Amino acid sequence: MSGAKKLWGGRFSGETDPLMEAFNESIHFDRRMHAADIRGSQAYARALQKQGILTEGEQQALDRGLTAVLDEWQAGTFELRPGDEDIHTANERRLGEIVGEVAGKLHTGRSRNDQVATDMRLWLRDEVQRLLGYLRELVAALVQRAEHDIDVLMPGYTHLQRAQPIRWSHLLLSYAFWFQQDAQRLEQFLPRVSQLPLGSGALAGNPFQVDREWLAQELGFASVTPNSLYGTSDRDFVAEFLFHSSMTMIHISRLAEDLIIYSTAEFGFVQLADAYSTGSSLMPQKKNPDSLELLRGKCGRVFGGMSGFMMTYKALPSTYNKDMQEDKEPMFDAVDTLSGSLQIATAVIATLKINADKMKASLTADMLATDLAEYLVRKGVPFRQTHHISGAAVKMAEVRGGQISDLSVADLKTLHPSFDEDVKLIFNFETSVNNRSSIGGTSRATVEAQIDMLKKWLA
Q: Which domains does the chain have, with CATH numbers?
A: 17-105 (1.10.275.10), 112-361 (1.20.200.10), 365-458 (1.10.40.30)
Mean of all residue pLDDT scores within the chain: 94
Q: How many helices (H) and strands (E) does the chain have?
A: 18, 6
> How far is it, in rounded angstroms, from Cα 36 to Cα 362?
55
Given a contact cutoff of 8 angstroms between Cβ atoms, the answer to whether 250 and 179 are in contact is no
pLDDT at residue number 257: 98
Query: pLDDT band at residue 281, thresholds of 50, 70 and 90?
Result: low
**Mean pLDDT calculated for residue range 260-276:** 95
| Cβ burial, residue 121 (10 Å; 0-12/13-18/19+) | buried
The SS3 of residue 160 is coil
pLDDT at residue number 158: 97
26 belongs to the catalytic site:
no
Given a contact cutoff of 8 angstroms between Cβ atoms, the answer to whether 213 and 195 are in contact is no
* Residue 183 pLDDT > 60: yes
pLDDT at residue number 282: 65
159 belongs to the catalytic site:
yes
**Mean pLDDT calculated for residue range 110-118:** 97
pLDDT at residue number 17: 80
**Mean pLDDT calculated for residue range 177-206:** 98
**Mean pLDDT calculated for residue range 298-322:** 96
**Mean pLDDT calculated for residue range 390-419:** 95
Look at 19-33, 90-104, 301-315, 380-394 and tell me which has the smallest mean pLDDT. 19-33
Half-sphere exposure of 397 (CA within 13 A, CB side): 21
**Mean pLDDT calculated for residue range 146-166:** 97
**Mean pLDDT calculated for residue range 137-155:** 98
Query: pLDDT band at residue 204, thresholds of 50, 70 and 90?
Result: very high
Distance of CA 414 to CAs 89, 391, 398, Å?
A: 87, 13, 16
* Residue 50 pLDDT > 60: yes
* Residue 450 pLDDT > 60: yes
* Residue 8 pLDDT > 50: no
pLDDT at residue number 11: 57
Query: pLDDT band at residue 51, thresholds of 50, 70 and 90?
Result: very high
Percent of the chain residues topping a pLDDT of 70: 95
Catalytic residue among 2, 280, 408, 437: 280
> How far is it, in rounded angstroms, from Cα 49 to Cα 102?
13
